[in-house]
Structure 1
C-alpha cells in the first residue's frame, strides 16, 4: 500500500512539473559579488544610476547590445546590457530598464552584480569587463529527463554544435543563433545560443563550448530543458517554442533597424506540451521507472558532484569539475603527510583518485582575494594550453570558499629541489640539464608564438619548473601570467621575484615576451652554475658577466659536472648572457633562443652588459645598482625569497 501511494505521488508530481516547466524556466537568476561595496550617497552609486538610466533610455540599442563606462578610478562603473537577438528595440529597452531596477533592489550596495532575465542580461562592475571571456556557466535545468535520453541527445548535440558555430561567427553587433530539430515522441527541440558581441569568435566559441559540455555532463545529461548562464554567453533549449520563430534563419551581417521586431513575446506552451502530458499519463509506469533511475543517479553524484567534462579550447581537452569530498578523500583530508609544498597562495598536496591516478592538488588560501583572482586566471589559461613542456591541469573544484586546482602529478617535484640541493644536484648531469634548458625554451616558444593567445608568464624560475618521471621540464604556476594582444604592454602593479625581473618591467611596468626571455637567461645561468641567483652578493648575472668579460666563464660552472661538453656549456652561458642584456631590443626572441640551443652552427652575437651591476670602478656610475633597482618603483611588489606575488587582474 505504501509503495502504491509513493508511485502515485511521483506520477502526479511529474505531471505537475511537465505542466509548469515553462514557468520554472522563467525564473530570473541574479548574483551579487562580494568584491566591493558602496554607500547610498556615494559617487559610485551616482555613476551607477547614470549608467543604468542611460542604457535603458538609449534609443540606439538597435542590435540588443550596449556597453558604457562612467566615472574615474575606484568610482568608475562599467556596465553591459545584452538582449536576446530575436526581440526588438522597444522590448529590449523595457527589459533592460526592468532588470536594472530589479538588480539595484536585489544588490543594493554591491559594486558588481549581474541579472539574467529570459530576454536580457544586465551587468555592472567597478572593474574592466569589456571584451573579456568570463564563462563557468551555471545551469537551471528541468527536473524531467527525456523518455529516450540517447535518442534525445543524438538530436540535441548536433543542433547545439550547429548553432554554436553560427553564433560565434556573428559580428561585433550580434552573436546570436536560434534553431530547432525534431526529436522522438513528436517532440521538437528548440535552442538559442548567444555571446556578448565584444568577444572575438574564438572566445565566443570557447564560452559556448563550456555551456554545451555542461549540457552533456553527469549532472545535467538527458534533461528536457535547461538554461546555462554566464557573463559572456548563454545557452537555452526547450521542448517548446520560447523565441520568435523568424529568428531561426541566420541573420544578415547588418540587419536594418526598421526590420527588427518591436514586439515578440515568448510563445505559450504549444500543442506539443499537451501531447507530452497525454503521453505521460499513458506511460506513467515508464516515467516512474525513469524517475527512480534519476534518484539513483543523483545519489551516485553525491560522491562526485558534477564531474563535468568541459571541452575547453580548440583541442577539446577533457576538463573536469571535481567534488570537494572526492579530493578530500584522495588527499586524506589534506593531511600534512601528503603536503608537497606551500607557496604564497596556498599548499600543494599529493592525492590519489579511486581509479589509481595520482594527482597534485593546489589548495588556494581561503579568504584571499588575490588567491581568487589567481584561481580564475590559472584555470582560464591552463585549460587552453596544451604542450609537452607545460604542466597539464586536469580540473578544478569550486565549493564555498574552497578553490582547488588539480594537476597531473610530477614525481620529481620542481627543478630547484634538484638544482640547489648539494646531494641531489649530482643527479643532474650536463645532458639532463641541457635537455631541461631546451624543454623550457620550447614551452616558452609555445606560450609566446604558437598558442591561441600570446601569453607572458612573468614569473619564470626554477621552483616553477616541474620535472616528470623522465626529468622532462614542464612550466607551471600561471597565476601571474598575462594575455598580450600587442608587442608589449604595461601594468601599474609589478609582480614576480627579484633577480628575475628585467629593468623595463621593474621600473616602468612594461612587459613583453622579452621579459620572459630575461628570466629564462637567469634560469640558464642557474642551471649551469647549480647556484641560486641570490646566492651571490653581487648577483649571479653580475658574477657571470664579470667572468665572461675577464675570460674565465668556466668559473661559473657547477663543479659537480664531469663533462666533455665544455663547448656546449660555454655556448649555454653565452646564450644566457644574451637573454639578460639590459636593452630589450638586444635580447633574442624566444624562437631565436630555441634555434641557438638546437644548432651549434648558428653564430652568436657578443653579449652586452646586463643591468643590476653594483657600482664598482670597473663598471662605472652609468650602471644601475641593485639597491636602486629595488627602490626605483614604489609599485613594485616582489619577494627576495622566491615567493610569487600575483597581480589583481586576471588578464
Structure 2
C-alpha cells in the first residue's frame, strides 16, 4: 500500500494564546465548553422553575386567588400541594366516602383542623356548573345547620372543596347503612336531628338574603357532627328561588324517592319541593328505613305508601323503628309522623313552610290538622310515568333529564355563569399538559 508522506511545518499551526485562563492550553477552558456550561445551567434553572410551578409554589396568586376573586367568593383557598399534604396524597386509607361529585377524603391541616376534601371525579356526572354552584352557595352562608366550607382548590384540572369534618358521617349511614356503621340513635337525638334539618331549610328558604331551593335533600346529604347535630351538605344542585315567575324548570335534577311529584313529572320547582324531600327524611328518621321503590309492587314507594296506609287505618305507631324499643315520647312521635305526611302532600300549596315546621317541632305553635292527601291522590298515569323513569335510574345516584316544555322560564337561576370558568379550567388543563409533554 502506497502512502503519501507530507512534511510537517509547525509554523503553519496557530499558537494558543497564553494571556488568560480561557485561552491557555494548560489549565484553561475552551469557548465551546463555556457555552455548554451556560446552556446546561439555563436548562437546569428552567427545570427547577417548572417543577416549582407544577407543585404550586409559584402560581398560587396567578391561579386560585385571581380567579376566585373574580367570582367574588367568600371563602379561603388552598394549593394542591397543601391539600395533598393534608390528605397524605389522597391516601386510600383516608377515603371516607363517595358521592355524585366524587370521592371524599379526610385531611388534617397544619394547625390540627380536620377537614373533608371533596374531589371532582373525572367520571362525575356533575361538572363545572355544579362545582361553581356548590362553591358559590355554601360560601355565601353561615348557619349552625349548614356544613361549613373552609376553602377550595382550583389548580390545573383539579377541583377540590375542603369542608369541616363531620365525625359521624351521614344520617343515611347512621340509620340504614351497613350494620358496622350504623349508630344507636335514641329518640331525643332523632328529634333533635329533625329540628336541625328544619332550621337549616328554614334559613335557606326564608331567612337568608339569597332564597335557595336545595333540590337534593335526602338522608345522604344530612351529615352528623361529633355531637350528632345535623348539618345540610351538597349544594351542587341548589338554585336561587325567584318568586316572580312561573316556577317552571326545564332542567330537573335530584334523587328519586325524595323528589316532589310536581317537580319530577312537570318540572314545577319551588321551595315546597324541599319540603316534600324533608317529609321523606322525617319518615326515614322515624322508621329507620329508606324510602326506596318497591319493585315487587308496581308504582309504590315502600316507606311513603306504608305511612299513608297506616294513617288511614289509625296504626301510625307501627311505623316506628323497632330499635327504639318503645322508648320515645308518643306526642312528639305523632307530631313528627303527621308533619311528614303534611310535608309530602301531593299539592305543594298544602305543604307547610319550613318556619312553621320548626315552630311545631319546638312546641311554639299547636300542630294543625293534617290532611291525608299523599301518594293515593297521585293518578295512575303519574305513577306510571314516575316508575318508567325509575326503571332507568339508580336511586343512589343523582340523575338529570330534560323536559320539553314550551315555556322556558325557570324558577331558579345559576349563581354564577359557567362559560368563563370553563374556559379558565380548559386553559389551566392545557398548561398542565404542556408541562407534562
TM-score, length of structure 2 as denominator length:
0.71
Paired residue secondary structure (1:479): coil
Q: Does 1:397 align with 2:397?
A: no
1:483 paired residue among 240, 261, 264: 240
Q: What's 2:185 paired with?
A: 428
Deviation string, structure 1 residues 212-248 (Cα, Å, up to 9, x no partner): xxxxxxxxxxxxxxxxxxxxxxxxxxxxxxxxxxxxx
Query: Which position in structure 2 is the counterpart of 1:604?
Result: 368
SS at match of 1:532: coil
CA contact (8 A) 2:204 2:212 kept: yes
Cα pair distance change 1:311/1:493, threshold 3 Å: closer
Q: 1:508 matched to which residue of 2?
A: 266
**Secondary structure of 1:510's aligned partner:** coil
Note the residue ranges of structure 1 that are not aligned, 5 or more in a row. Answer: 1-297, 614-618
> Within 5 A, what are the aligned runs for 1:159-198?
none
Q: Which residue of 1 aligns with 2:213?
A: 456
Distance 1:639 1:452, change over 3 A: farther
Hey, what's the Cα distance between the residues in 1 that align with 2:333 and 2:381?
A: 28
The counterpart of 1:547, out of the listed 296, 304, 310, is: 310
Contact kept? 1:491, 1:510, Cα under 8 Å: yes
- Between 572-581 and 590-599, the greater mean CA deviation after superposition: 590-599
Structure 1 residue 593: Cα displacement: 1.0
How many angstroms does 1:442 deviate by?
0.3
Q: Counterpart in 2 of 1:467?
A: 224
**Residue 201 of structure 2 aligns with which residue?**
444
Match of 1:302 in 2: 57
SS of equivalent residue, structure 2 residue 346:
coil
Work out whether residues 101 and 125 of structure 2, in 8 Å CA contact, stay in contact via their aligned partners in 1: no
Aligned 8 A contact 1:303 1:326 in 2: no
**Deviation (angstroms), 1:622:** 4.4
Determine helix, strand or coil for the equivalent of 2:117: strand
Verify the 8 A CA contact 2:56 2:80 in the aligned structure 1.
no
Please tell me whether Structure 1 or Structure 2 has the larger radius of gyration of its CA atoms.
2
Cα shift readout 1:388-444 (whole Å, capped 9, x = no counterpart): 000111111111111001111111111111111456555200000000000000000
8 Å CA contact retained: 1:480, 1:646 = no
Offset at 1:332?
1.2
Judge conservation of contact 2:223–2:233 (CA < 8 Å) in 1. yes
Distance 2:338 2:124 in 1: 42
State whether residues 391 and 474 of structure 1, in contact with CA within 8 Å, keep that contact through their aligned partners in structure 2: yes
Q: Residues of 1 paired with 2:392 and 2:258: CA distance?
A: 10
TM-superposed deviation, 1:331: 0.8
Instruction: Determine the structure 2 residue equivalent to 1:339.
Output: 95
In structure 2, stretches of 5+ residues that fail to align are 1-52, 403-412, 416-437
Aligned pairs for 1:149-548 (under 5 A) are 302=57, 305-306=60-61, 319-366=75-122, 370-421=126-177, 422=179, 425=182, 427-486=184-243, 489-534=247-292, 538-539=300-301, 540-548=303-311
- Provide the secondary structure at the position in 1 that maps to 2:98: strand
Structure 1 counterpart SS, 2:215: coil
Q: Is contact 1:517–1:579 with CA below 8 Å preserved after alignment?
A: yes
Instruction: Write out per-residue CA displacement over residues 309-358 of structure 1, whole angstroms, 9 at most, x where no aligned residue.
Output: 989999x96x2111011101111111211111112221111111122211
Q: If each structure's strand is expressed as a fraction of its own residues, which one has the higher value? A: 1
Deviations 1:628-647 (A, max 9, x none): 32337xxx998432222368
Aligned pair partner of 1:643 in 394, 397, 405:
397
Alignment partner of 1:587 out of 351, 370, 385: 351
Deviations along 1:245-287, one digit per CA (max 9) or x if unpaired, are: xxxxxxxxxxxxxxxxxxxxxxxxxxxxxxxxxxxxxxxxxxx
8 Å CA contact 2:106–2:116 kept in 1: the answer is yes
TM-superposed CA distance for 1:590, in Å, is 1.2
Conserved? CA contact 1:482–1:650, under 8 Å: yes
Q: Render the CA deviation track for 1:575-611: whole Å, top value 9, x for unaligned.
A: 0000000011111111111111111751322322212
* Post-superposition CA distance 1:82-129 (Å, at most 9, x none): xxxxxxxxxxxxxxxxxxxxxxxxxxxxxxxxxxxxxxxxxxxxxxxx
**Residue matched to 2:49:** none
* Aligned mates of 1:311, 1:561 — CA distance in 2: 50
Q: What secondary structure is seen at the aligned counterpart in 1 of 2:372?
A: coil
Give secondary structure in 2 for the equivalent of 1:522.
helix
The RMSD of aligned alpha carbons is: 3.1
Alignment equivalent of 1:569, drawn from 333, 336, 340:
333
Change (3 A) 1:465 1:367: closer
SS in 1 for 2:243: coil
| Alignment partner, residue 145 of structure 1 | none
Say if 2:265 and 2:385, in contact at 8 Å, map to a contact too. Answer: no
Offset, 1:301: 7.6
Q: Does 1:556 align with 2:314?
A: no
- Inter-CA distance 402–424: structure 2 relative to 1 (3 Å threshold): closer
Separation of aligned partners in 1, 2:346 and 2:199: 23
Alignment TM-score, normalising by the size of structure 1? 0.49
Q: Which has the higher contact order (CA 8 A, sep 6+)?
A: 2
Q: How does 1:81-100 map to 2 (within 5 A)?
A: none
